[in-house]
């Protein structure tokens, strides 16, 4: 039994380099997080070897007794965490959760209503070359051109005009709460199902720091690896009435054998998400995003044409608006990369620049909160980010800012007990 370093030094070396990268930089991609060691141990377990097609107690393979225990724990815990009547924990990813959820409710050719990708929606909410755009007739709603908040009057008008069978509320880049009750009222009015994709804000919901979509939606999908801080994967929560349809849409509809090692890691993550430490981490996540927004709205940034969409945030991310700045999204991303901060550029609504350049940056705080950052550290991070965006950024500034980044990474060691190329 050779370990990884002996069996495959090439992969081992790249993994070691990735661990060093995660340790030495500030991760501010809004959809990323650091899974706790316990989650990674469960995922890197012997369950990777097990076929378990079917559901707990009803499998198509022998030897599933332990997989059953684990999957049932994951189901029970996530139902409890979010107060849902039913849960399917098998979707391999958020995209597959959405594909299965839509397959359960819709027939190809049916009409769906989702947030436009360029206004913060996700690929699976109806992008033209995604499965959602190819299978279904997509109508998109938008954010208001002035306040950049979802225009609920437009949602209602489009719903009345197009009578969608499914309305999707949820986003990948939007800094405010959605009005789930109003979405449901509109869905009821036109006889549509309401699906909320809470992938981004599920951790905030679990901590009670964001309104829950569960009481309002027919079904709720999520990823488990964003604010929720678990392994990469998906979940579908639904009413009891829809559970059978959802289960058969996931398996055998979309998937074969579930990734029970990932399900084990999900079960661990759901347990941790009910603990007080998790709520504190989500609180610091929100605090960090607020501090960042406030810093980027200060006079020196405003004078450089830098703005923040919706003038702030209620969630774990800030959308920097560079439409009136000489700095574009690509340059902003590159500057932060150079000083050891990882973000992604992002088109803003009505972006005048091409998508590969863009006029926005999406900056999130979940991973730094997982590292232990609180108000004081986020204040320092916010000032580093703002300074990097200001005119006059040169080699000297870059060196000074990189030093400040390194000081933070050294004060908050990531996975301090994790040795290179092993999980022990
Ligand atoms: N839904 C939303 C709102 C997302 O932001 C994402 C990922 O970015 C997904 C679904 C898809 O998740 P995955 O990347 O696991 O397929």
- Sheet of 360-364: strand order equals 307-308, 317-321, 360-364, 344-345
Residue closest via CA to ligand 1's atom 5 equals 172
209 near 279, Cβ under 8 Å?
yes
Distances in whole angstroms, Cα of residue 86 to Cα of each of 195, 268, 361: 14, 18, 37
User: Active site includes 298?
Assistant: no
Beta bridge partners of 184: none
Taking only the tens place, the pLDDT of each residue in 317-363 is 999 999 999 999 999 999 999 999 999 999 999 999 999 999 999 99
Burial 165-182 (b: 16+ CB within 10 A, else e): bbbbbbbbbbbbebbbee
Active site residue 2: no
Most ligand 1 atoms within 8 A of CB, residue of 30, 31, 90, 95 to mutate: 95
Has 51 been annotated as catalytic? yes
Our mutation pick for probing the ligand 1 site, out of 124, 223, 225, 265, counting the most ligand atoms within 8 A of Cβ, is: 223
Q: Say whether pLDDT at 81 is over 80.
A: yes
Q: Does residue 223 have an active-site annotation?
A: yes
Residue 148 Ramachandran class (φ > 0 left, ψ -120 to 50 alpha, else beta) = left
Rounded to whole angstroms, the Cα distance separating 226 from 206 reads: 12
C-alpha dihedral sign at 348, 350, 355, 357:
negative
pLDDT value at residue 299: 97
- In angstroms, the CA 4 to CA 15 distance is 10
**Residue located nearest, by CA, to atom 11 of ligand 1:** 94
Spatial separation of the C-alpha atoms in residues 233 and 256, rounded to whole Å: 15
Residues 6 or more apart whose CB falls under 8 angstroms from that of 217 comprise 169, 180, 183, 184, 194, 195, 196
Q: For the chain, how many helices (H) and strands (E)?
A: 17, 15
Alpha carbons 103 and 115: distance in angstroms, whole number: 19
Res 420 pLDDT > 50? yes
- As for the ipTM of the complex, it is 0.98
The 3-state DSSP class for residue 365 equals coil
Which band of pLDDT confidence, cut at 50, 70 and 90, is reported for residue 373?
very high
Query: Which residue in this structure is represented by tokens 């603990």?
Result: 275
Q: Which residues contact 361 (CB under 8 A, 6 or more apart)?
A: 319, 320, 322, 329, 332, 333, 336, 343, 344, 345, 346
242: its two tokens: 């829809």
Per-residue pLDDT, 423: 53
Please give the pLDDT value at position 419: 83
In the predicted model, is pLDDT for residue 2 greater than 90? no
For residue 197, indicate whether it is catalytic. Answer: yes
Determine the average pLDDT of the residues in 213-222.
98
Query: Could you tell me which residues come within 8 angstroms of residue 261 by beta carbon, excluding any fewer than 6 positions away?
Result: 42, 43, 44, 45, 46, 47, 48, 50
Mean pLDDT for 268-290 is 98
Asked whether the beta carbons of 288 and 369 are under 8 A apart, the reply is yes
Taking the C-alpha atoms of residue 63 and residue 42, their distance in angstroms, rounded to an integer, is 19
Q: How far is the CA of 352 from the centre of ligand 1 (A)?
A: 26
Closest CA to 176 of 308, 314, 286: 314
Q: Is 121 annotated as a binding residue?
A: yes
With cut-offs at 50, 70 and 90, classify the pLDDT of residue 422. Answer: low
Any atom of ligand 1 within 6 Å of the Cβ of 199: yes
Res. 164: pLDDT tops 60: yes
Residues 97-117 have pLDDT tens digits of: 999 999 999 999 999 999 999
Residue 424: pLDDT band by 50, 70, 90 thresholds?
Answer: very low
Q: What is the mean pLDDT of residues 186-210?
A: 98
Convert the pLDDT of each residue in 220-254 to its tens digit.
999 999 999 999 999 999 999 999 999 999 999 99
Compute the mean pLDDT over every residue in the chain, rounded to the nearest whole number. Answer: 97
DSSP 150: B
Residue 33 pLDDT more than 70?
Answer: yes
Q: What is the structure's pLDDT at 110?
A: 98
The token pair at 171 is: 């986003």
Clarify whether 226 is annotated catalytic: yes
Active-site hit among 221, 223, 227, 365: 223
221 within ligand 1 shell (Cβ under 6 A)? no
For 373-385, what is the mean pLDDT?
98
Provide the residue count of the chain. 424
In the set 59, 165, 176, 226, the catalytic residue is: 226
Mutate to test the pocket of ligand 1, among 29, 92, 117, 122 (most ligand atoms within 8 A of CB): 122
């Amino acid at each position: 039994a050779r370990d990884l370093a002996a069996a495959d030094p090439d992969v081992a070396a790249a993994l070691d380099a990735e661990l060093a990268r995660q340790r030495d930089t500030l991760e501010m991609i809004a959809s990323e997080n650091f899974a706790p060691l316990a989650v990674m141990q469960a995922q890197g377990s012997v369950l990777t070897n097990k076929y378990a097609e079917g559901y707990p107690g009803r499998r198509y393979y022998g030897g599933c007794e332990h997989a059953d225990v684990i999957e049932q724990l994951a189901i029970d815990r996530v139902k409890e965490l979010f107060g849902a009547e039913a849960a399917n924990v098998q979707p391999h990813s958020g995209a597959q959760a959405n594909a299965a959820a839509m397959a359960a409710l819709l027939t190809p050719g049916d009409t769906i209503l989702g947030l436009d990708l360029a206004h913060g929606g996700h690929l699976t909410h109806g992008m033209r070359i995604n499965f959602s755009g190819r299978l279904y007739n997509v109508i998109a709603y938008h954010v208001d051109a002035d306040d950049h908040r979802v225009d609920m009057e437009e949602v209602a008008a489009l719903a009345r005009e197009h009578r969608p069978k499914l309305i999707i509320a949820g986003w990948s880049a939007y800094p405010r709460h959605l009005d789930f009750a109003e979405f449901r009222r509109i869905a009821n009015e036109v006889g549509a199902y309401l699906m909320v994709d809470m992938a981004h804000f599920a951790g905030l919901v679990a901590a009670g720091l964001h309104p829950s979509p569960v009481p309002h939606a027919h079904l709720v999908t999520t990823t488990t690896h964003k604010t929720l801080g678990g392994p990469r994967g998906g979940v579908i929560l639904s009413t009891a009435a829809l559970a059978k349809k959802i289960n058969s849409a996931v398996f055998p509809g979309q998937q074969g054998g579930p990734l029970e090692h990932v399900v084990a890691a999900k079960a661990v993550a759901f347990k941790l998400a009910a603990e007080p430490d998790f709520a504190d981490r989500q609180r610091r996540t929100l605090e960090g995003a607020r501090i960042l927004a406030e810093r980027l709205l200060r006079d020196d940034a405003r004078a450089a044409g830098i703005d923040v969409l919706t003038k702030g945030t209620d969630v774990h991310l800030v959308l920097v608006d560079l439409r009136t700045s000489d700095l574009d999204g690509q340059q902003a991303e590159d500057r932060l990369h150079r000083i050891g901060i990882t973000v992604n550029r992002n088109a803003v609504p009505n972006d005048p620049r091409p998508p590969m350049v863009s006029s926005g940056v999406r900056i999130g705080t979940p991973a730094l909160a997982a590292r232990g950052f609180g108000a004081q550290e986020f204040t320092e991070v916010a000032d580093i980010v703002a300074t990097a965006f200001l005119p006059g950024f040169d080699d000297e500034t870059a060196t000074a800012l990189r030093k400040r980044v390194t000081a933070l990474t050294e004060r908050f060691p990531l996975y301090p007990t994790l040795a290179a190329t092993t999980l022990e």
